[in-house]
């Protein structure tokens, strides 16, 4: 998969993707229709009529991360596609209008100084690979699509990671969240 | 025009828009082809084949503005569409990869603490109305499209505003900029 800035990525629920959907459930708000497989494609996608649903996001620049935090993340973050990382998770979320109406300094304070979003994520590196996709500007139903990959023995750690984030002040602004767990096919 | 968050806006160079193009020139980088009129439409646009060019952007949340700055802007910013504001300007810009690779804290420091972007803009309120559109996540040729409206007697003030911004440290990261001046038709 491409890793450069501003690449469009489409996650589609369909019969023919590379990832088998093991579980899909709504954490908050409306669910997504069930699907057997998930496909992940970069660039424009033309066969959407064959999909149960399709979610698009863009890989983009960091929005809250300071230089020191970015350096730590850069040193510890594993790439996607590790052979041992046969489990995946797709977590689409939407934040409330209240969140988006907050000024940048207050969103940053909630995100990191009070919710420790980056710090919590660092606790699970390099076990859990992560890539964030921005969807809000595309007029999509979710604001963000976060894709994770990890080895089966780290699924408990992943559960722990998402539970800590869901307990944070930042998550009070999440009004829709779906948690989809997957296994790499073949 | 719509004013809510995340609305898609399309600026099209065409024969039939509401704004007469008085001047269009490249400040840095490649120019845009000349056109007689500019149309501004919200929502998806279907007749793009009839346009010389078409640029899309999304009205979105503030990216660098603190609560205090947002309050000042909110108190002073005029709306678009004032009857006396018969002059317009569309300034599409693209920033360099170096800019986008900077962490948030350093982009903020350049944007405001060192370049005074918001402070300079405040000096021209309420004379000059402004609306920012984000294009980078849409895969567009420009990162931002800024639309301005002002009365003819404030065109000198507008020239002064853009000259001050172009002299700032932030503008060293601008690798493409077009300056288009317009008059409301009819």
pLDDT in tens, B20-53: 999 999 999 999 999 999 999 998 777 666 788 9
> Counting Cβ atoms within 10 Å, is residue A186 exposed (0-12), middle (13-18) or buried (19+)?
exposed
- CB count within 10 Å of CB A87 equals 21
Give the residue from chain B lying closest to A136, CA to CA.
Answer: B6
Nearest by Cα to A158 from A126, A109, A124, A183: A124
pLDDT for the residue numbered B133: 98
pLDDT for the residue numbered B45: 79
Q: Do B136 and A108 touch (CB under 8 A)?
A: no
> Residues A94-128: pLDDT tens digits?
999 999 999 999 999 999 999 999 999 999 999 99
Give the residue from chain A lying closest to B67, CA to CA.
Answer: A103
The residues facing A14 across adjacent strands are: A37
**Structure tokens of A39?**
């496909």
The residues facing A8 across adjacent strands are: A58
Q: Do A104 and B139 touch (CB under 8 A)?
A: no
Nearest by Cα to B65 from A64, A62, A108, A104: A104
Its pTM stands at 0.92
pLDDT above 90: percentage of residues in chain B: 89
Interface residue of A63, A104, A136 to substitute, partner B, most B CBs within 10 Å: A104
In three-state secondary structure terms, B47 is coil
3-state secondary structure string across A121-181: HHCCCCCCEEEEEECHHHCCCCCEEEEEEECHHHHHHHHHHHHHHHCCHHHHHEEEEEEEE
Average pLDDT over residues B151-161: 98
Nearest by Cα to B24 from B121, B92, B81: B92
CB B123, CB B90: distance < 8 Å = no
Q: Do B104 and A5 touch (CB under 8 A)?
A: no
CA distance A37 to B66: 43
**Structure tokens of A142?**
């979710």
CA distance A53 to B38: 36
**CA-based nearest distance B61→chain A, Å:** 6
Contact partners, residue A24, CB within 8 Å, separation at least 6:
A31, A32, A34, A35, A178, A179, A180, A181
Phi, psi at residue B112, to the nearest 5°? -115, -55
Q: Does pLDDT of B110 surpass 90?
A: yes
CB A5, CB A61: distance < 8 Å = yes
Instruction: Identify residues of A whose CB sits under 8 angstroms from chain B CBs.
Output: 5-6, 8, 58, 60-67, 69-70, 97, 100-101, 103-106, 108, 134, 136-139
The interface pTM score, or ipTM, of the predicted complex is: 0.88
Q: Does pLDDT of B105 surpass 90?
A: yes
Give the residue from chain A lying closest to B109, CA to CA.
Answer: A66
Q: Do A62 and B5 touch (CB under 8 A)?
A: no
Flag residues of chain A having pLDDT under 50: 1-5
pLDDT for the residue numbered B48: 65
Q: Do B6 and A69 touch (CB under 8 A)?
A: no
**CA-based nearest distance A24→chain B, Å:** 27
Average of per-residue pLDDT values in chain B: 93
- Beta strands B53-58 and A37-42, pairing class: unpaired
CA distance B6 to B113: 27
pLDDT for the residue numbered B49: 66
């Amino acid at each position: 998969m491409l890793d450069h800035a501003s690449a469009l990525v489409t996650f589609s629920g369909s019969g023919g993707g590379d990832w088998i959907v093991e579980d899909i459930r709504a954490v908050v708000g409306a669910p997504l229709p069930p699907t057997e497989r998930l496909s992940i494609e970069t660039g424009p996608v033309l066969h959407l009529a064959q999909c149960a649903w399709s979610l698009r996001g863009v890989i983009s620049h960091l929005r809250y991360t300071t230089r020191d935090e970015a350096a730590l993340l850069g040193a510890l973050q594993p790439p996607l596609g590790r052979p041992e990382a046969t489990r995946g998770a797709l977590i689409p979320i939407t934040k409330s209008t209240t969140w988006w109406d907050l000024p940048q300094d207050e969103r940053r304070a909630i995100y990191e100084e009070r919710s420790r979003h980056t710090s919590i994520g660092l606790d699970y590196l390099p076990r859990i690979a992560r890539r964030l996709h921005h969807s809000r500007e595309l007029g999509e139903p979710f604001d963000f699509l976060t894709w994770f990959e990890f080895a089966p023995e780290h699924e408990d750690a992943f559960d722990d990671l998402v539970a800590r984030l869901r307990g944070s002040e930042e998550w009070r602004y999440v009004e829709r969240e779906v948690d989809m767990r997957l296994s790499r096919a073949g």
